[in-house]
Amino acid sequence: MAASRGGFAGKVLRVDLSTGKIGVQDTIERYEAVLGGAGLGYRVLWDEVPAGTGPFDAANKLVFAAGALVGTSVPCNGRTTITTIFPTCWPRPLVGSGHMGGHFAAKLKYAGYDALIVEGKADRPVWLMIRDAKVEIRDAGHLWGSGIRRTTLELSQEMGPDCVVAAIGQAGESQAPMGMVINSVSHSAGGVGGVMGAKNLKAVAVQGSGAVRIAGDKAEWEKLVKFHLSILGANNQHVVPSFPTPQAEYYNPASRWVGQPGRRWGAAKPPVELTGDIHDLSRIVYRTNSAAFFLGEEAWKYTVRGNGCTACPIRCHTMLRVPSVTVKYGIPDMAQNTCIALQFGRMFFKGLMAGKGGEAAIEACMVGMHLADDMGVWSNYGQLQRDLRKLYEGGYLKARLGSKEYASIPWDKYDRNDPAFLLDLVPRIANRQGELGDVLSRGTGAIFDTWSIPESDWADDHSTTYWKMGHPKHHANEDDGQCGVIINTQYNRDAQCHSHTNFVRNGLPLAVQKKLATDIWGSPDALDAPGDYTPANPYKARRAKWSLMRKELHDALGVCNWMGPWVASPRWERGYAGDDSLESKFLSLATGRPMDREELDRAGERIFTLHRALTIRDMGQVDMRAGHDTVPPWVFEDAKGAAPFTKGTIRMDRADIGRAMDFFYEAMGWDTATGAPGKARYAALGLADVGEGLAAAGLVPQDGK
C-alpha cells in the first residue's frame, strides 16, 4: 500500500467542480501499473471519459499528474503532464497531453498527491486551493479577466510565497483551444488552458509541507544522483560544448552548451562572469543560455541568469532584462523562457527569422513573452506563427477577411517587423476578437474549416512544417530520417518526443554516435548522418520504438524528455556513454521495489499502447495505418529535385517509409496491415480489459493478433 512504497505520494486528489465534491484515491492500488503522469492520465480517460466527449464538455476530465520521481533529488524532475481530450486535434478532438515544467508537480507531491483529477464544471469562476490535506474550491470572480501574472501574484499573496500557482489567462477563459496554463510565471502547457476555462477553473494553487520518501538505500541514492549529474550535458543533452576548450575532445558550433568561460550574465547585478572548469558539477548552470543560443551574442548582455524547474541544474529558462522594451512598448523589461516560447514574438515576422536575429529579434521576443505568458496563448510549436505568415503572405486573409476587419489590423507594423504589431494581434487571439482572432485561437484545423482552405495547401508546403491533425512536425525527417518520421506519425498533436533528437544532435562525431548506437540498439545502422539517409531497417525502427517508450516513461515518471534519455554523456573516460538504465535504477531506489530496465520499458510500452487504444476508440476505426499514421506530402519532395537517399536531402521515399512503418509495427507487436495492437498484445502488456473493450467494439485487427 501507499505507506510502504517510496516515490509515490500515495494519493490522487479528485475534485468535481459540478458538485463541489473533493475526494482522494490510493495511487498504488489504482495506478501503479501506469506509473503516473501521462500513464495515469490515459488510464483515467480510458476508464472515465466516454468516446465522443468533447474537450469543453463537463464530462471531459483534466488530469494534472506528477510522477514517482517528481519532488525527489533526481535531476530534471519538474514535469507535470496534463492529459485530457485535446482541443486542437483536428478534425476531431482526441487524447493528448500538455506538459509543463516549473515547480507545480513537486508542490503537488509535497502536498500529498500524485495527481489532481478535475471533473465537471463550476457554475461560476473558481480557483482551487490545495494546502496539504486542506482543499477548497474558492471564488475566482475577482480574478476572472486577469492575466496570469496578476493571478499568480494575488494567489501567492493570499496563500503565501511558498505556493505554486498554475493559472490560465484570457485565452483559457475564452475557451480558446490555443489557450495554455502556466505555472511559476513561465512554464506552460499548451492546448489545455481552454479546457480549464470551460470548467470555470481560473487557477490551481498548491502549497505542500511534506516530502517524497526514498525507500531504498540513501547512500546509493545520493551516489546515483551524483552520477546522473556527471553525465548531464547542456540543454537537450548536448554533451559537447559549442567552443573548443582544453577540457573537451570534441566541440560543435551548433551545441546548446554555449557557456564558455569568460562569458558574462551582463544584466545581473553585479554581472556574473562564467568561470572555472566546464565539467564542474556546481557550474552546470553556466552551460546553457537559451537566449544566446537562439538569439545570438547580443543576448549575453541582457542575461540576468538561468531559471528552471525543480532539481534541474540546466536552467533553460533564460531570464532577460531589456530596458528598451519598457520605453518602446510599455511592457516590463524582464522576461524568461526557452525554445519556441522564448521566440514566440520573433517567429511571427519573416524579416526577423534570418540567423540569430540580433537586437530587433530580442525585442520581438520580449514583447511576445510578455503577451503570450500573461494572456496564456500557445504557439502550437510555432504553427500559430507559421499559419499567420502563410495566411498573410499567401493572400488568404485579404481574400477571406472582411475588408473592415482586414483594414483594422496594423499590417504596416507587420511589414516593418515592428513588435508593436503583437500588441494588437495577441489580444485578438486571446480574446477571440473578430474573425482572425477567433480562427487563430482555435488552431490550424479551424483555418481549414472556417475558410474552406484544403489541408493540402499546408501539408504540401514544407515551409509550414505542417504534419497532420492540425499540428506541425516535431523533430522529424529533417533531424532523423525514418526514425523521425515514425515518431511523428504516432501522436494526435505534435510529437514532443526528444529521445531521438537529443541523441542525433548531441554533438559527438558520427563514429562515436554509431558506437553508442551499436551498444544500445544493436547496430551502427540504427543511425545515419543527418541528410545522408540510408533505407529503412529494423534497427532504426527499434530506436524509434525506444525513443517513444522513453518519452512516455519520462512523461509518466515526471522527468524531462527535453533533457533525457541520458544515453550519451560528456565523459571521455566512459567513451561518451551515459546510462540506458538510469530511469529504472532511480525508480527502484525511490519505490523500494526493484525494477530492471526491461520491466520499466514494458511499462512505457503499456502506457504508449494505452494512448494508442484511446486513439483507436475515439476515432472509431482500427486502421491506424491509413487513417492516423500519415505523413505529409512535403516529406516526399525536395525543392531541388534530389532523389531520396542522396546526400544532402531530407526527402523520404514513400515505399521505404512503408517498410519503416512495417518494421515499427513489428517491433511493437502490432498488426502491420492496420498498425493496431491485437487482443493478445494488449493482454501481454497487462491491458487485457482494454483489448476486450476494443474487441467488443470491433476495434482490434480481424485476425486477432
Partner 1 sequence: MSAGDAPDLGKAIVEAVREASAEARLVGADEVVERLRARGFGECLDTEPEVDPCRRVEALLSGLPEIASLASLSGRAVYHDPALLSRTYARILDRKGVTALLMAEEIRANSRDYPRPVPVELFEAPPFDLAPEAIEAAFKAMAASEEFRDIAFTTTSQGTVYLFSSLHLERDYATFLAEQDETFSMNP
Contact (CB, 8 A) for 322 and 333 = yes
Number of residues interacting with partner 1: please give it, by CB under 8 A: 43
Contacts 24+ apart (CB under 8 A), 89-92: 89/445, 89/469, 89/470, 89/471, 89/492, 89/493, 90/443, 90/444, 90/445, 90/446, 90/448, 90/449, 90/469, 90/470, 91/445, 91/449, 91/469, 91/470, 92/618, 92/619
Q: Which of 210, 358, 531, 686 binds partner 1 (CB under 8 A)?
A: 531
424-438 core/surface letters (b: 16 or more CB in 10 A; e: else): bbbbbbbbbebbbbb
Question: H or E element: which one contains 433?
Answer: none
Q: Could you tell me which residues are beta bridge partners of residue 180?
A: 190
Q: Single out the residue of 332, 410, 427, 530 in contact with partner 1 (rule: CB under 8 A).
A: 530
Are 499 and 580 in contact, with CB atoms under 8 Å apart?
A: no
Residues 598-637 contacting partner 1, CB under 8 A: none
Nearer to partner 1, 123 or 277 (CB): 277
Work out whether 532 is an interface residue with partner 1 (CB under 8 A). yes
The smaller minimum CB distance to partner 1, of residues 650 and 667, is found at: 650
Cβ burial, residue 676 (10 Å; 0-12/13-18/19+): buried
Binding mask 552-591 for partner 1 (x = CB under 8 A): --------------------xx------------------
Cβ nearer to partner 1, comparing 210 with 530: 530
**Among the listed residues 219, 327, 354, 696, the single contact to partner 1 using CB under 8 A:** 354
Least CB distance from residue 313 to partner 1, whole Å?
20
Tell me if 559 sits within 8 A of 76, measured CB to CB. yes
Window 242-281: residues binding partner 1 (CB under 8 A): 243-254, 260, 262
**Residue 467 lies near partner 1 (rule: CB under 8 A):** no
Regarding 343 and contact with partner 1 (CB under 8 A), the answer is yes
Can residue 360 be called a binding residue for partner 1 (CB under 8 A)?
no
479-498: contacts with partner 1 (CB under 8 A) = 479
* Smaller CB separation from partner 1, 255 or 547: 255
Q: Do the Cβ atoms of 233 and 312 come closer than 8 Å?
A: no
Question: Can residue 641 be called a binding residue for partner 1 (CB under 8 A)?
Answer: no
**Closer of 22 and 642 to partner 1 (Cβ):** 642
**Which is closer to partner 1, CB of 353 or CB of 680?**
353
Segment interacting with partner 1, rule: CB under 8 A, options 198-206, 475-483, 612-620, 680-688: 475-483
Close Cβ partners of 199 (under 8 Å, ≥ 6 residues apart): 17, 58, 62, 118, 120, 121, 122
Grid cell, residue 240, equals: 559537447
Is 70 an interacting residue with respect to partner 1 (CB under 8 A)?
A: no
529 binds partner 1 (CB under 8 A): yes
Binding piece for partner 1, criterion CB under 8 A, among 213-221, 241-249, 305-313, 590-598: 241-249
Q: Distance of alpha carbon 189 from its chain centroid, rounded?
A: 7
What 3-state DSSP class applies to 214? Answer: coil
Question: Which listed range, 166-174, 365-373, 486-494, 508-516, lies at the site for partner 1 (CB under 8 A)?
Answer: 508-516
Cα 75 from Cα 281, distance rounded (Å): 12
Helices (H), 346-419: 358-375, 383-393, 396-400, 403-408, 411-415
Residue 188 · residue 104 · CB < 8 Å: no
Query: Which lies closer to partner 1 via its Cβ, residue 334 or residue 365?
Result: 365
Residue nearer to partner 1 on the CB measure, 295 or 690: 295
Distance, in Å, from the CA atom of 147 to the CA atom of 14, rounded to the nearest integer, reads 26
**What track of x and - describes contact with partner 1 for positions 298 through 337 (by CB under 8 A)?**
----------------------------------------
Q: List interacting residues with partner 1 (CB under 8 A).
A: 243-254, 260, 262, 293-295, 339-340, 343, 347, 353-356, 382, 475, 478-479, 505, 509-511, 529-532, 572-573, 642, 647-649
